[in-house]
Structure 1
Amino acid sequence: MNKFKFFTNFEEEENWLNDMAMQGYRFIKKTPFGYKFEPEGSKNVTIKMDYRTFKKREDFEDYCALFEDSGWEHISGTKSSGYQYFKKVGHQGNEEIFSDVDSNISRYKRLSDMWATLAISFIPILAALISTDAIDPGVLLDPKSLYFTPGLWDLNGLKFWRAFFFETPFALFRGLTWIIFPALIMLYLYFAYKANKQYKKI
């Protein structure tokens, strides 16, 4: 079973995953757009998260082994995925995945830095597209410029509506193409702000 959800807060995501476990669904892995579960009888499961990337496979394996020695089994995540998911094994280990506050809040700092880096990386691309006229910021103020049919706005009656409805899907596609990079930058900055806000709060 697949569930499609998105979180910007680790605690909220952990609580949701644990609620799914209480309903009898075993968390298998995180997918690009959600989560994969399988039915399972056992409901006494505790899932916790971290956010960390690794350059070397050996470092990632050592990281997983360290948590396993503390009673936490790595169940989802790769060395470059960032999001790492752990399940408490048996009754050993602490109830929390981190034994100190600094480790707990550092994951929010790493997450905030990741979103901010993504936003910044799109800014030069956006600037290049604007400078080459591939993107026209003026369409936000003049949506009519998205319609290329000659004399469209001078037509009347049925001729206008036929031409308008025919070209509208193409105009919407052009508009979405032009605003996708500004939208992604704003979205990533928002995620970075949310993660940084939680970092400062904790």
Structure 2
Amino acid sequence: MRKFKLFLDFEKEARWLNKMASEGYELVGRSFGYRFRKSKPDHANIKIDYRLFKKQADFVDYCTLFEDSGWEHLAGTKSSGAQYFKQVNKDADEDIFSDIDSKASRYKRLSQMYISLAMCYLPIFAALVTTNAINIDAFFNPKQLYFTPGLWDKTGADFWGAFLFETPFAFFRGFAWLAFPVMIALCLIFSYKAEQRYQKIKKK
């Protein structure tokens, strides 16, 4: 089973995953949504860290350290950022973080990741603007985005059939570039929210 959700709060995400486990859905993967498999209901203790690794060996060492401490790595890769762990040894510590600083720092890393993404989208958007690839006139005269010969002279079913068929292509031609400023704005908002969460935990 696959579920799609967006969390900017690791604690809320962990509580949701623990609830899913209690309903008999075990987390087995986290890529393009959460992947679960049906299992026995489990009062799981799942915690989430956020780390990126340049080397696979460093990622393996990181997972091994947690496994030696009684935590099983459920999901996450060296480049995914979010790392999911489940307590499998009842004698292990109840949390994977030993202090407030380490618990808060994952939000700082998350905030920096979103800033980096925004910086990646920004030059693409700038290039679209400077090369005049963005057709601002389309906002005021969307008809120019339709290339079907004689479209506006058609009537009845002929018009609506041609119009509805070409509209998705016309929209893509004229407004696909909007994805970049939207993504930049979302990344900056998510970065700000993660930074706020970081500051809140640090003050505890």
Q: What TM-score comes out, normalization by structure 1 length?
A: 0.86
Q: Which moved more, 1:143-152 or 1:103-112?
A: 143-152
Identical columns (%): 56
* CA deviation string 1:153-198 (max 9, x = no partner): 7x69759954654543322222342212112111211221221121
Please say if 1:18 is aligned against 2:18: yes
Asked whether the equivalents of residues 151 and 159 of structure 2 are also in contact (C-alpha less than 8 Å), the reply is no
Deviation at residue 57 of structure 1 after TM alignment: 1.7
Asked whether the equivalents of residues 49 and 86 of structure 1 are also in contact (C-alpha less than 8 Å), the reply is yes
Q: Distance in 2 between matches of 1:49 and 1:169?
A: 40
Q: Distance in 1 between matches of 2:140 and 2:193?
A: 29
Asked whether the equivalents of residues 136 and 178 of structure 1 are also in contact (C-alpha less than 8 Å), the reply is no
1:44 match: secondary structure: coil
Q: Distance in 1 between matches of 2:68 and 2:74?
A: 15
Asked whether the equivalents of residues 23 and 41 of structure 2 are also in contact (C-alpha less than 8 Å), the reply is no
Q: Distance in 2 between matches of 1:20 and 1:144?
A: 49
Asked whether the equivalents of residues 117 and 187 of structure 2 are also in contact (C-alpha less than 8 Å), the reply is yes
The letter for the 1-side match of 2:200 is K
Q: How does 1:83-94 map to 2 (within 5 A)?
A: 83-94=82-93
Q: Which moved more, 1:134-143 or 1:44-53?
A: 134-143
1:109/1:142 CA distance change after superposition, 3 Å = farther
Q: How does 1:72-83 map to 2 (within 5 A)?
A: 72-83=71-82
Deviation at residue 146 of structure 1 after TM alignment: 3.5
Q: Distance in 1 between matches of 2:142 and 2:69?
A: 58
Please say if 1:181 is aligned against 2:180: yes
Per the alignment, residue 134 of structure 1 pairs with 133
* CA deviation string 1:96-130 (max 9, x = no partner): 11010000010000001001100111111111122
The letter for the 2-side match of 1:77 is G
1:127 match: secondary structure: helix
Please say if 1:47 is aligned against 2:36: no
Asked whether the equivalents of residues 53 and 79 of structure 2 are also in contact (C-alpha less than 8 Å), the reply is yes
1:164/1:41 CA distance change after superposition, 3 Å = closer
1:103/1:143 CA distance change after superposition, 3 Å = farther
Please say if 1:70 is aligned against 2:69: yes
1:76/1:167 CA distance change after superposition, 3 Å = closer
Q: Distance in 2 between matches of 1:159 and 1:3?
A: 40
Asked whether the equivalents of residues 130 and 137 of structure 1 are also in contact (C-alpha less than 8 Å), the reply is no
2:53 match: secondary structure: coil
1:167/1:79 CA distance change after superposition, 3 Å = closer
The letter for the 2-side match of 1:15 is R
Structure 2 alignment gaps of length 5 or more: none
* CA deviation string 1:130-167 (max 9, x = no partner): 211222345446545544568977x6975995465454
Q: What TM-score comes out, normalization by structure 2 length?
A: 0.86
Q: Distance in 1 between matches of 2:164 and 2:26?
A: 48
